[in-house]
Structure 1
């Protein structure tokens, strides 16, 4: 079952274009009152091939097995009154469409070359399938919800693993940061807004917005493209920017707006369905050395509180840090592989922030750095940060002392899979199930075939 949702990440795309298939359709599977058509299998196999995988007819066996599992879950979800929010369906569809667009290059190319229809029509077509997938996922979660593993179960799981099968972990570290940015004065903000007001007036007087964006915008990514951002959907931009962008009519220029990046004026270029394309000019307030010195002094205060044991590092991060992501986790970096704080492989940390790797290379475990000049990666804001080198583990095979949370997670995953497999066996015995004889040779669907005899 673990594969069902990973293999079906792009299944909606295949479903959206399945009408193009010219094969004669037939029912190849039935679970209670739910049917699976040959075209359902073929459309997902088409997507498998489209992802440049080698032809392999046996993949259809895997696809049918996963569709049978999905229908079994869906049947039980209806009986148990499991629901899914409409907003969740919308979000899932939008995320998948954005993924498809990123793969092919543009919405226009997606519509013309792959979908053969508009994105809006595609959304309507795939909505029932997305609903089914999310209902099945929610049902799967309900089956295993509340399951836990005791320390004894974790140890038993670990003890049964052959030594040469234990995973090898490279050097890993626990690292935190406290970030402080200068606070712009009212005068500095007013100056930035005045610059944009003047540029807006020039546009209204007839000057080309794109030319002014190229000359004056402090967003280098869009400035080189005459300020043009490209098509985006709701939820992709910061809220103040997005709210204004979706209200503008093509050609209209917004008043000055403020976001966490600075101040903007926006010109609408085009609206297509639930996407808009705009240009913008960004001006950031300029701060003086006085504001920089104040930010550095704030971090010196944080160091004082930590060293005098008036605050832990985590408490100081909550009190002083301007970085929302790390502040919410007590200043500690999260491992992107699991979304939790703790040990992070050194190479993973390097992908996150190579500068941090260079900094801790000069530090001892347990040490707190002095305030270090810092420019944020996403917002290109200048400030300072403290780095806390909490711990380090050397390369090793997994063991209970160093890797208990990981082993606990693996033990829980195995237990949940066992619970789910037992549920499937029980429910399969209760439901009417029929599988087409063409799939009789498939190892994956043998349990379903036995039921259908």
Structure 2
């Protein structure tokens, strides 16, 4: 059975974080320990694997911390999720479904980085936990591993599912006509992006700042302290620049090229990527993964560089207007600075539907700046360059927009909405397959649910028949 300390300390973190947001106060660990001790009953059993009431209370505490209103029914949903997870893990043992230790370590590191950021730094987090981050990571690792194994088992169950055009047609025809979904107005929008580029002279100031910080570290100053003070990577700066363990695919190519050449303890030269000027230190190597920390200095866009981007955008717009032999797609591939769209004919993708890579975007999902321009355009038109500002970073760039198509709000049809219906058909097939799998495994597995949860509608049919009969008056 899991040590009670893990649950206690996690609850301390979440409860303290909530109180901190309201009145900057802390929770007495002794009081929390007593509360958890009273709650630590067996809420359910799957095979020989128990589910503690404190597991449920922990997840419910997280639910409340996220700003949700109290709702006792959520505990029913949590228990159902934990029962499902145990079933999947037990089948994973039979089917030899596993996860790599390095993948578990990466997920633990990722979650801890998020906790450190929310707590306001590693020292503050360790104060909440009452122990070091390393100790806490060891305690939560087994739980996270179980979650990952369950997810891999679920993926194995549905890995061979596919959807044919006949499946989509049958799915569509089984929808009652008065229940057909209505799709919002959608557009297809292309873009050619012109990002401001600094000259070598303009960049030199920022490169030198990175060089100076590197020199200070080489002369004995603390890497983590300088990263917290000066690094402009918002994700890692609060953690002393620590990026945890990652493989090559986790980094931009310039970063990977440097990180995987160094030995543990070595500090790289200053190098440039799309993000700015970095230097990094390798803390540890583990097979095809590397544990790094870095300091990033981000160059600031100048008015001169923005003006140069505008001039380039105006020139390309003029070419598109005068030379009809050059279409928008070719111009985007040649001129655009946006790596996500330039090789897609400049067309934006619906990021809410990445799997199908559809270019049809609901107007309410468009960047409001783009939507404002597109709303005044006719299909086939190209808008004159305008300056756009990224919401998250505040960076500015010039864009030429092209409106390829408009689809008004309408009831679903096979002709116009096949990709969406295909996705809906697949989702329905996945849900049916998973439901059938659980139905079969529930009948074959000993499952007990605490009597306090037997009234949960989500758990109807979960307890073993003999157990259910024993609980009836």
- Tell me which residue corresponds to 2:437: 423
CA distance in 2, matches of 1:442, 1:204: 63
State how 1:198-277 maps to structure 2 within 5 Å: 229-231=237-239, 232-234=241-243, 256-263=270-277
Task: Return the match for 1:363 from 377, 385, 388.
Answer: 377
CA distance in 1, matches of 2:176, 2:145: 42
Describe the superposition over 1:28-61 as per-residue Cα deviations: whole angstroms up to 9, x where unpaired.
4333343323332333233334445444444333
Is 2:61 aligned against 1:61? no
- Tell me which residue corresponds to 2:358: 341
Task: Look up the SS of the partner of 1:390 in the other structure.
Answer: strand
Is 2:45 aligned against 1:17? no
TM-score normalised per structure 1: 0.71
Task: Return the match for 1:39 from 25, 34, 54.
Answer: 54
Aligned 8 A contact 1:256 1:263 in 2: yes
Aligned 8 A contact 1:193 1:263 in 2: no
CA distance in 2, matches of 1:172, 1:104: 41
Q: 1:79 to 1:16 in 2, by over 3 A?
A: farther
Task: Look up the SS of the partner of 2:189 in the other structure.
Answer: strand
Quick check: 84-93 or 341-350, which moved more?
A: 84-93
Aligned 8 A contact 1:175 1:333 in 2: yes
Aligned 8 A contact 2:210 2:278 in 1: no
Aligned 8 A contact 2:350 2:359 in 1: yes
Aligned 8 A contact 2:333 2:343 in 1: yes
Structure 1 residue runs without a partner (length 5+)? 1-12, 206-220, 248-252, 268-273
Aligned 8 A contact 1:31 1:431 in 2: yes
Aligned 8 A contact 1:27 1:38 in 2: yes
Aligned 8 A contact 1:263 1:283 in 2: no
CA distance in 1, matches of 2:145, 2:60: 21
Task: Look up the SS of the partner of 1:230 in the other structure.
Answer: helix
CA distance in 2, matches of 1:157, 1:129: 38
Task: Look up the SS of the partner of 1:81 in the other structure.
Answer: coil
After superposition, the CA RMSD in angstroms is 4.5
- Tell me which residue corresponds to 2:449: 435
Task: Look up the SS of the partner of 1:338 in the other structure.
Answer: helix
CA distance in 2, matches of 1:59, 1:30: 19
- Tell me which residue corresponds to 2:284: none
CA distance in 2, matches of 1:195, 1:449: 64
CA distance in 2, matches of 1:338, 1:447: 34
Task: Look up the SS of the partner of 2:340 in the other structure.
Answer: helix
Alignment: residue pair count:
405
- Tell me which residue corresponds to 1:189: 200
Is 2:120 aligned against 1:112? no
CA distance in 2, matches of 1:322, 1:314: 14
Describe the superposition over 1:169-200 as per-residue Cα deviations: whole angstroms up to 9, x where unpaired.
3332111112244666xxx3156326754896
- Tell me which residue corresponds to 1:153: 167
- Displacement of 1:73 in angstroms is 0.6
Q: 1:337 to 1:283 in 2, by over 3 A?
A: closer
- Displacement of 1:406 in angstroms is 1.8
State how 1:287-326 maps to structure 2 within 5 Å: 293=311, 297=315, 307-308=324-325, 313-326=328-341
Structure 2 residue runs without a partner (length 5+)? 1-5, 12-31, 217-228, 282-290, 468-473
CA distance in 2, matches of 1:89, 1:121: 16
Q: 1:394 to 1:62 in 2, by over 3 A?
A: same
Task: Look up the SS of the partner of 1:73 in the other structure.
Answer: helix
- Tell me which residue corresponds to 2:21: none
- Displacement of 1:92 in angstroms is 2.9
Aligned 8 A contact 2:448 2:464 in 1: no
TM-score normalised per structure 2: 0.69
CA distance in 1, matches of 2:170, 2:437: 23
Q: 1:149 to 1:278 in 2, by over 3 A?
A: closer
Aligned 8 A contact 1:179 1:386 in 2: yes
CA distance in 1, matches of 2:322, 2:145: 54
